Amino acid sequence: MRGSTLRAAGLVTVVLAGLLGSAFALGRSLMPDPHPSAAGVATTLGPRYGEQPPSTDFPGGTASARPSPDAAPDAAPVKPGGDGPYGALVATGSSRVALTFDDGPDPRWTPQVLALLAQYGVRATFCVVGENVEAHPDLVRSIVAEGHTLCNHSWNHDINLGKRSPATIRADLLRTNDAILAAAPDARIAYYRQPGGAWTPSVMSACADLNLTPVHWSVDPSDWKAPGATTIEAMVRSQMGPGAIVLMHDAGGDRSGTVTALQQLLPELLARFELEPLPVGSP
């Protein structure tokens, strides 16, 4: 009797194991395949800066661009004295327009943005995050090699960096500069953009100490919210004017809408304006 009981229990165990294995296989087959990334790069979530809204504790906002008609097109970066928060730049200083891309580099979106800019012969400014620079130095080298300007955008996009101690702020900016130069030793870093536009006097002091020009923006389509290409296009068109500094993103979230919008906007903008990277002056 005991042997029969054991054999029966063993049979039940085998049947149950088979059923569980079949259920697991069925569940796996119903799961969607991962979305393939550009150029064969594995898709990862990465830093989700797009889910980190601008701080409401600081004066940010959008200021109007008022270029100086007498400014030389290739002049060296203007020191603080712009019309943005705490004197950050919101205009190029000429009738030319500057496209800026924040939060990268990203192995999926940055190559697509670079390809579009190369297709239309446009150079832009990339405000890079230190931890992404360290993770993707090859993309930093590509940005520099293709003639774009680099801008320090902090180490890990800390919206509250301006509330930290002066020593902490300075160390953050230096760490990011060091990462950029480790990736591209010949790069010139002339600008800094504060995450979320959350400028403070302490951040401005660090910029002055490190000879970084604080750069804000005058056109903000809020593409960090991923509102879709149509909305991004409409907002850029409605806000654009001579001397504008345009804020867009090539990382920090799903940037498919930004890439699609660029495909439509670049030929339109080129027909209306001369596009330039923010100048870094002579070596």
In sequence order, what are the beta bridge partners of 247?
A: 100
- Three-state DSSP class for 190? strand
136, 153, 157, 249: which one is catalytic? 249
57 is catalytic: no
Tell which residue, 120, 127, 134, has the closest CA to residue 151: 127
- Among candidate residues 102, 106, 172, 220, the one labeled active-site is 102
Residue 254 annotated in active site:
no
Q: If you ran DSSP here, which 8-state letter would residue 160 be given?
A: T
> Which residue spans within 195-272 are E strands per DSSP?
213-214, 245-249
The residues near 51 (Cβ < 8 Å, ≥ 6 apart) are: 253
Q: What is the full DSSP assignment across 31-58?
A: SPPPPPPGGGPPP-----GGGSPPPSSS
Question: First-to-last CA distance in the chain?
Answer: 93
Residues 6+ apart with CB under 8 A from 257: 223, 226, 227, 228, 229, 231, 232
- Residues annotated as catalytic are 102, 249
